[in-house]
């Protein structure tokens, strides 16, 4: 194993998209940011230097961070922000993981432009469990706003209403030509007939699940969230913010230019958004003025296509990569995830109220001291350990909402004993509207053992749980008006954030944290913080 050192200089950079320019926050002046390469078992040191007028923190999304929660990154959860002019070295070892993940800013809405890929190669000499591709390409999907994204969210918070949707989606930073800016180019992927390519797809968008398609080419899915899956073929990939998907593409056409499309998915769209980002697959030897073979992206509400994709995912579960699904459960938890409305006297546009979001009716209030710091140094008064394991009142979650839509504010965590096993059902509610919620758990992978529409039935639904080869991941889409069930083992002491990866829902409070106690054995406790740890 090796030590990989990176320096991330966070700087402003004037950037032009959609035929207009604005200064954006970037790492090393790049958008998307630099790819971080490592091998399984390597130690990674990333020195993040803050040269901008925002407080900062960076999260290594999906990295397990075994006993090193200090390097996880969510602001006010595991650290206080790196202030202007300051730096912090994120120091972590990659244990038992290989594949594609992403890094992104984890404060305010800065991740709209501060994000990039993490590529973890298998240990030297260990092959992929599928035929070796001839080449590998990182493909980062994102969103672009013409306005400053901090202005977008601040305006929404002032009004109490939902923020504007983005002005475009992007593929490796580029929307491709669109009607009000036809001259702008898109990302081009050069390919050679007969070769196979592995695309490392990442959804770094703030607020949109995305479909991904390539005209005239089938995709073979081999990995999601840095875990291998049983390979399957599809023409459309569904990928939620925070998720990653590796696909193999055979360049089996003779020549030509083929459209690559990334378009939004929402079960029950509130705001219509049909913006498709395009890129091209360009066969070598094909003249640039050759016409592009087009593909039609699925409609925004193509739920059957989404379900079909999600239902095809299975852990590889081979001898070498077994699916270690907990077969017994110590904590049987049920969390509702959804929206709500709280009073806001200053919210004029919202008529004195504002949209909020909650889990088990708790709207998470960000502390001013990081939870992990408070936990490790025994600072009292920062959080309480009374996060409810079940909804405070039972109602028809996917039917008529309860009469009061008001949520409770609190900085509450759920405490787990070291190595205990957790089954968690996440139930979407139809309060205000049914919505998709890509829920991300920090510090763990979990197994997605069940999924359904309507209200979860604790008597009958567990009979259909897959405890053999469920897909293992770190971010899962809770379907609109439905539920998912996950299981994980609490084998990582520390404080671990769990939240909706639609940034607007996180902002509105759809977040909580698990506090995992130290174990009694050797190597079962949280390590002490590094000396440059940004305290509050």
- Interface residue list for ligand C2O (CB under 6 A): 59, 61, 74, 104, 106, 242, 440, 442, 497, 499, 501
Q: Indicate the Cα dihedral angle 83, 89, 93, 97, nearest 10°.
A: 50
Q: 355, 357, 353, 354: which is closest to 339 by C-alpha?
A: 357
Q: Which is nearer to ligand C2O, 104 or 487 (CB)?
A: 104
Tell me the two tokens of residue 285. Answer: 């030897």
Strand spans (E) along 292-420 = 292-293, 331-343, 353-359, 362-364, 408-410, 413-416
Q: Which is nearer to ligand C2O, 205 or 484 (CB)?
A: 205
Exposure b/e, 303-329, CB count within 10 A at least 16 = b: bebbbebbeebbbbbeeeeebebbeee
Residue 61 Cβ vs ligand C2O, minimum distance, rounded to whole Å: 4
CA distance 198 to 136: 5
> % helix / strand / coil in the chain, to the nearest 5?
10, 40, 50
Q: Which is nearer to ligand C2O, 251 or 504 (CB)?
A: 504
Q: Which is nearer to ligand C2O, 314 or 499 (CB)?
A: 499
Q: 302, 318, 215: which is closest to 259 by C-alpha?
A: 215
Q: Which is nearer to ligand C2O, 204 or 422 (CB)?
A: 204
Q: Where are the alpha helices (DSSP H) in 371-469?
A: 371-376
Q: How many residues belong to the chain?
A: 536
CA distance 256 to 290: 7
Q: Which is nearer to ligand C2O, 437 or 442 (CB)?
A: 442
Residue 474 Cβ vs ligand C2O, minimum distance, rounded to whole Å: 8
Residue 506 Cβ vs ligand C2O, minimum distance, rounded to whole Å: 7
Residue 30 Cβ vs ligand C2O, minimum distance, rounded to whole Å: 19
Q: Which is nearer to ligand C2O, 106 or 489 (CB)?
A: 106
With CB atoms as reference, the residue minimizing the distance to ligand C2O is: 61
Residue 240 Cβ vs ligand C2O, minimum distance, rounded to whole Å: 11
CA distance 128 to 100: 13
Residue 2 Cβ vs ligand C2O, minimum distance, rounded to whole Å: 25
Residue 87 Cβ vs ligand C2O, minimum distance, rounded to whole Å: 21
Q: Which is nearer to ligand C2O, 69 or 256 (CB)?
A: 69
Residues with Cβ within 8 Å of residue 170, at least 6 apart in sequence: 17, 140, 141, 142, 143, 144, 262, 277
CA distance 231 to 234: 10
Burial class, 231, CB count within 10 angstroms (exposed 0-12 / middle 13-18 / buried 19+) = middle
Q: In this structure, are strands 362-364 and 408-410 parallel, antiparallel, or unpaired? A: parallel
Q: Which is nearer to ligand C2O, 115 or 217 (CB)?
A: 115
Residue 115 Cβ vs ligand C2O, minimum distance, rounded to whole Å: 9
Residue 262 Cβ vs ligand C2O, minimum distance, rounded to whole Å: 18
Q: Which is nearer to ligand C2O, 26 or 475 (CB)?
A: 475
CA distance 362 to 388: 9
DSSP 244: E
Residue 313 Cβ vs ligand C2O, minimum distance, rounded to whole Å: 19
């Amino acid at each position: 194993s090796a030590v990989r050192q990176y320096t991330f200089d966070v700087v402003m950079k004037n950037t032009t998209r959609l035929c207009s320019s604005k200064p954006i926050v970037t790492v090393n002046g790049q958008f998307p940011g630099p790819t971080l390469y490592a091998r399984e078992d390597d130690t990674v040191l990333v020195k993040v230097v803050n040269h901008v007028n925002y407080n900062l923190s960076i999260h290594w999304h999906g990295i397990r961070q075994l006993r090193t929660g200090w390097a996880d990154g969510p602001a006010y959860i595991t650290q206080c922000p790196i202030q202007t002019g300051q730096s912090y070295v994120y120091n972590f070892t990659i244990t038992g993981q290989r594949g594609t993940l992403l890094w992104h800013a984890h404060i305010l809405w800065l991740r709209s432009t501060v994000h990039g890929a993490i590529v973890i190669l298998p240990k030297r000499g260990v092959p992929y469990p599928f035929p070796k591709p001839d080449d590998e390409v990182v493909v980062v999907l994102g969103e672009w706003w013409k306005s400053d994204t901090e202005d977008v969210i601040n305006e929404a918070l002032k009004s109490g209403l939902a923020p504007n949707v983005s002005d475009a989606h992007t593929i490796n930073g580029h929307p491709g030509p669109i009607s009000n800016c036809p001259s702008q180019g898109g990302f081009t992927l050069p390919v050679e007939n007969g070769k196979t390519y592995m695309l490392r797809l990442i959804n770094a968008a703030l607020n949109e699940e995305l479909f991904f398609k390539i005209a005239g080419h089938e995709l073979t899915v081999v990995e999601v969230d840095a875990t291998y899956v049983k390979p399957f073929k599809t023409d459309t990939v569904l990928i939620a913010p925070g998720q990653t998907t590796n696909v193999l593409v055979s360049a089996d056409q003779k020549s030509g230019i083929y459209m690559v499309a990334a378009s939004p998915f929402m079960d029950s769209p509130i705001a219509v958004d049909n913006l498709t980002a395009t890129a091209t697959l360009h066969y070598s030897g094909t003249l640039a003025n050759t016409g592009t073979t087009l593909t039609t992206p699925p409609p925004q509400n193509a739920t059957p296509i989404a379900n079909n994709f999600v239902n095809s995912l299975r852990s590889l579960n081979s001898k070498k990569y077994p699916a270690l699904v907990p077969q017994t459960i110590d904590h049987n938890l049920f969390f509702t995830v959804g929206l709500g409305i709280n009073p806001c006297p200053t919210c004029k546009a919202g008529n004195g109220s504002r949209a909020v979001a909650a889990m088990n009716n708790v709207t998470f209030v960000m502390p001013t001291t990081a939870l992990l710091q408070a936990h490790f140094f025994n600072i009292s008064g920062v959080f309480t350990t009374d996060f409810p394991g079940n909804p405070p009142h039972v109602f028809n979650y996917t039917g008529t909402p309860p009469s009061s839509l008001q949520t409770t504010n609190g900085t509450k965590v759920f405490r787990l004993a070291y190595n205990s096993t957790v089954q968690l059902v996440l139930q979407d509610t139809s309060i205000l509207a049914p919505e998709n919620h890509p829920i991300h758990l920090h510090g763990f992978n979990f197994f997605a053992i069940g999924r359904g529409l309507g209200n979860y039935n604790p008597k009958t639904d567990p009979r259909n749980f897959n405890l053999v080869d469920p897909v293992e991941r770190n971010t899962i889409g809770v379907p609109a008006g439905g539920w998912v069930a996950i299981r994980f083992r609490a084998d990582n002491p520390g404080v671990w954030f769990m939240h909706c990866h639609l940034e607007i829902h996180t902002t509105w409070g759809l977040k909580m944290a698990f506090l995992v106690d130290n174990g009694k054995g050797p190597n079962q406790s949280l390590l002490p913080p590094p000396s440059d740890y940004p305290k509050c």
